[in-house]
């Protein structure tokens, strides 16, 4: 019996009727007993096969409660799975099914065109009930998947900042090990109820949300998508005690009028991950809501969390993503040697939770993820202070080389985000005939069009005061919105590519 199955069995034994997951929009709730029934239903349909490594099941589930129960059920039964974006188009689903070499796809709202296209890839398509039970085959053949001994439990795709997907295989012990560290660090127990409006096909929601809830025995409010107009109402209605958020959502919530500060007495903290959080956004959110922000750092290749600030507010450090939690972290210089305290370098990680290889497309072969000494380079640039707190300054491939002078985009973005009228900001490089590159910035705002030129002018003035000349953006473009990914993180590489395609001419977002 695997660890997830053991935990699920203990939850059912302790209180099968206790609520496990709640859909925020509809109020639909499922208990730990329901999750166990889903696990049994999976096992009844799954069967076994002599070669589990040949199987991989895609989860394309819109219903958040169906996803949670199916995800736990799959892990409990040793079924290799690959969570998919359920909003994908037919072409996107087919591309992902082909890259992952999916043998089966489980969905709850797949239309006829999607089913037909997936079937053409050779995958068997299954429908699942809203609560994750009642599997129904769309073909006569029984679902043959391994009940144990799978090569990996979950295969996820991550693009980093390049846009080129990598296939990351994570084992049950890696996923659950990190979930245990999260539950312990955050002091989660059966009295806690989290609120996670993040996409469930991403590692954060799966480990920080679903699995840490399984570990703690508490409950979790989940959403199909974040909706600012009902966020605080849902949080109050279901009595949540902690929030699992990202900087983009924190920025939106900080700007909402009439925020109910009384929730700050019952919500212990708002956890921030996915991308660096600016001090300005954090301060605005805490001031508006009365809820302290716990800034963390993680990545798919580490099964989510890498570092976290201390739980006690007085021990947290502004601007830092915190201390390592259950993992080794170091900063190295260009020669690969450990950098001295407060020196900027590449962040590397090592530990049991760190992926040791990437799958190739079609899962044919694999490439090593770690170096010979077990360290994995994250691609992030940062520094560690004398107490071991980590501060991120950017990505290695985002650094702007302006005539030999290094410009870190986050320095510019922090200045721009100090202005409460700015919702999001991105600094990137634009080609220059003699310097090679120069920084430009994009900001989004809700201001009407006739006030945006004035905002751009005032932002340039702020940069002149706060930044050295070579760091100041040559132009600042103001727009309604910036391109974002599923978690709300701005797709920096799309803006960078736009600048490259525009060559030396002014670009328009």
Quote the pLDDT of residue 148: 33
Quote the pLDDT of residue 152: 56
Q: Is the distance from CB of 59 to CB of 52 less than 8 angstroms?
A: no
Give the SS3 label for residue 70. helix
pTM of the model: 0.84
State which of 360, 395, 430 marks the end of a domain: 395
Confidence grade of residue 96 (pLDDT, cut at 50, 70, 90): confident
Same domain, 356 and 432: no
User: In whole angstroms, what is the distance from residue 455 CA to residue 450 CA?
Assistant: 10
281 Ramachandran zone, left/alpha/beta (phi>0; psi -120 to 50): alpha
Total domains present in the chain:
3
Whole-number Cα distances in Å, 278 to 187, 282, 286, 310, 425: 25, 6, 12, 18, 10
* Surface-to-core class of residue 113, CB atoms within 10 Å of its CB (0-12 exposed, 13-18 middle, 19+ buried): exposed
Which DSSP string corresponds to 158-187? E-TTTT--EEEEE-HHHHHHHHHHHHHHTT
For the domain that residue 253 is a member of, what is the CATH number?
3.40.50.12780
> Average of pLDDT values for 37-64?
68
Q: Is residue 140 part of a domain?
A: yes
| 3-state percent breakdown (helix, strand, coil) of the chain, nearest 5 | 35, 25, 40
Same domain, 251 and 341: yes
Considering only residues 274 and 49, tell me which one the structure prediction assigns the higher pLDDT: 274
For the domain that residue 413 is a member of, what is the CATH number?
3.30.300.30
Q: Where are the beta strands (DSSP E) in 96-211?
A: 104-107, 124-127, 136-137, 154-158, 166-170, 193-196
Q: Is the distance from CB of 459 to CB of 419 less than 8 angstroms?
A: yes
Instruction: Give the contacts of 6 (CB within 8 A, at least 6 positions apart).
Output: none
Longest dimension (CA), the chain: 70
462-498 burial, b at 16+ Cβ within 10 Å, e below that, comes to bbeeebeeebbbeebbbeeebeebebbebbbbbbbeb
Quote the pLDDT of residue 140: 29
Q: What is the mean pLDDT of the chain?
A: 85
Cβ count near 13 (within 10 Å): 10
| First CA to last CA distance, the chain | 53
Whole-number Cα distances in Å, 326 to 277, 283, 308, 336, 350: 22, 28, 10, 23, 10
Which tokens go with 154? 């979950």
Same domain, 294 and 383: yes
User: In whole angstroms, what is the distance from residue 393 CA to residue 440 CA?
Assistant: 17
Same domain, 359 and 305: yes
SS3 of 406-470: the string is EECHHHHHHHHHCCCCCCEEEEEEEEECCCEEEEEEEEECCCCHHHHHHHHHHHHHHHHHHCCHH
Quote the pLDDT of residue 67: 93
Which tokens go with 243? 């929030």
Q: Is the distance from CB of 154 to CB of 200 less than 8 angstroms?
A: no
State which of 170, 193, 218 marks the end of a domain: 170
User: In whole angstroms, what is the distance from residue 158 CA to residue 165 CA?
Assistant: 5
Q: Is residue 435 part of a domain?
A: yes
Least reliable range by pLDDT among 8-22, 69-83, 332-346, 480-494? 480-494
Please give the order of strands across the beta sheet that includes 242-245. Answer: 29-31, 19-23, 219-222, 193-196, 242-245, 269-272, 293-299, 304-308, 323-324
Same domain, 221 and 312: yes
> Average of pLDDT values for 348-355?
95
Q: Is the distance from CB of 189 to CB of 177 less than 8 angstroms?
A: no
**Residues 184-223: pLDDT tens digits?**
999 999 999 999 999 999 999 999 999 999 999 999 999 9
Same domain, 264 and 291: yes
User: In whole angstroms, what is the distance from residue 241 CA to residue 250 CA?
Assistant: 16
Domain of residue 374, residue span: 173-395
Least reliable range by pLDDT among 94-103, 148-157, 223-232, 282-291? 148-157
The total number of residues shown for the chain amounts to 509
Whole-number Cα distances in Å, 409 to 87, 164, 190, 460, 489: 31, 21, 42, 15, 15
Same domain, 150 and 102: yes
Q: Is the distance from CB of 59 to CB of 83 less than 8 angstroms?
A: yes
Q: Is the distance from CB of 68 to CB of 222 less than 8 angstroms?
A: yes
Q: Is the distance from CB of 456 to CB of 474 less than 8 angstroms?
A: no
Q: Is residue 45 part of a domain?
A: yes
Same domain, 93 and 211: no
Q: Is residue 120 part of a domain?
A: yes
Q: Is residue 507 part of a domain?
A: no
Residue 151 φ/ψ, nearest 5 degrees: -65, -35
Which tokens go with 467? 């930044």
Same domain, 356 and 422: no
Q: Is residue 506 part of a domain?
A: no
In percent, the amount of the chain with pLDDT more than 90 equals 57
Same domain, 78 and 145: yes
Same domain, 72 and 147: yes
Quote the pLDDT of residue 150: 41
User: In whole angstroms, what is the distance from residue 235 CA to residue 264 CA?
Assistant: 11
Quote the pLDDT of residue 151: 45
Paired residues of 390 in beta bridges:
322, 384
Same domain, 70 and 160: yes
**Whether the predicted pLDDT of 275 surpasses 90:** no
Q: Is residue 508 part of a domain?
A: no
Q: Is residue 354 part of a domain?
A: yes
State which of 356, 373, 395 marks the end of a domain: 395
Considering only residues 507 and 68, tell me which one the structure prediction assigns the higher pLDDT: 68
For the domain that residue 65 is a member of, what is the CATH number?
3.40.50.980
């Amino acid at each position: 019996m695997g660890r997830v199955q053991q935990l699920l069995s203990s939850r059912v034994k302790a209180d099968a009727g206790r609520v496990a997951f709640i859909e925020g929009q509809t109020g639909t709730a499922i208990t730990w007993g329901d999750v166990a029934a889903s696990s049994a239903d999976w096992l009844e349909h799954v069967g076994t096969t002599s070669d589990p490594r040949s199987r991989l099941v895609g989860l394309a589930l819109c219903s958040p409660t169906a996803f949670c129960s199916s995800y736990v059920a799959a892990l409990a039964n040793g079924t290799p799975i690959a969570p998919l974006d359920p909003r994908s188009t037919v072409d996107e689903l087919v591309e992902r099914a082909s890259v992952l070499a999916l043998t089966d796809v489980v969905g709850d709202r797949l239309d006829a065109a999607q089913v037909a296209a997936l079937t053409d890839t050779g995958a068997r398509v299954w429908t699942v009930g809203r609560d994750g039970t009642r599997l129904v085959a769309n073909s006569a053949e029984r679902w043959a998947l391994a009940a144990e001994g799978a090569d990996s439990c979950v295969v996820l795709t991550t693009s980093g900042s390049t846009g080129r997907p990598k296939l990351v295989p994570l084992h049950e012990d890696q996923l659950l090990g990190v979930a245990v560290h999260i539950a312990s660090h955050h002091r989660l127990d059966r009295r806690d109820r989290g609120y996670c409006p993040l996409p469930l096909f991403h590692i954060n929601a799966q480990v920080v949300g679903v699995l840490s809830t399984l570990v703690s025995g508490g409950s979790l409010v989940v959403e199909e998508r974040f909706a600012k107009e009902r966020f605080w109402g849902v949080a109050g209605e279901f009595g949540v005690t902690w929030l699992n958020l990202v900087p983009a959502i924190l920025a939106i919530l900080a700007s909402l009028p009439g925020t109910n500060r009384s929730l700050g007495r019952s919500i212990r903290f708002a956890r921030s991950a996915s991308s660096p959080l600016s001090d300005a956004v954090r301060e605005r959110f805490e001031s508006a809501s009365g809820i302290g922000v716990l800034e963390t750092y993680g990545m798919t290749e580490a099964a989510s969390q890498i570092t976290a600030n201390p739980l006690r507010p007085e021990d947290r450090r502004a601007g830092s993503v915190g201390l390592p939690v259950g993992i080794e972290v170091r900063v190295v210089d260009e020669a690969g040697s450990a950098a001295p305290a407060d020196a900027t370098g590449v962040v590397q990680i090592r530990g049991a939770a760190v992926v040791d290889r990437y799958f190739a497309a079609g899962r044919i072969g694999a490439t090593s993820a770690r170096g010979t000494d077990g360290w994995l380079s994250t691609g992030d640039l940062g520094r560690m202070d004398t107490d071991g707190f980590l501060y991120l300054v950017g990505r290695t491939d985002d650094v702007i080389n302006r005539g030999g002078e290094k410009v870190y985009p986050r320095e510019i973005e922090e200045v721009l985000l100090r202005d409460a009228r700015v919702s999001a900001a991105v600094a990137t490089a634009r080609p220059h005939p003699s310097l090679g590159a120069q920084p430009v910035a994009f900001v989004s705002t809700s201001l009407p069009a006739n006030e945006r030129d004035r905002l751009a002018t005032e932002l340039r003035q702020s940069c002149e005061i706060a930044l050295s000349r070579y760091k100041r953006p040559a132009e600042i473009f103001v727009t309604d919105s910036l391109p974002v990914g599923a978690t709300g993180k701005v797709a920096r590489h799309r803006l960078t590519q736009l600048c490259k395609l525009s060559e030396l001419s002014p670009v328009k977002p």
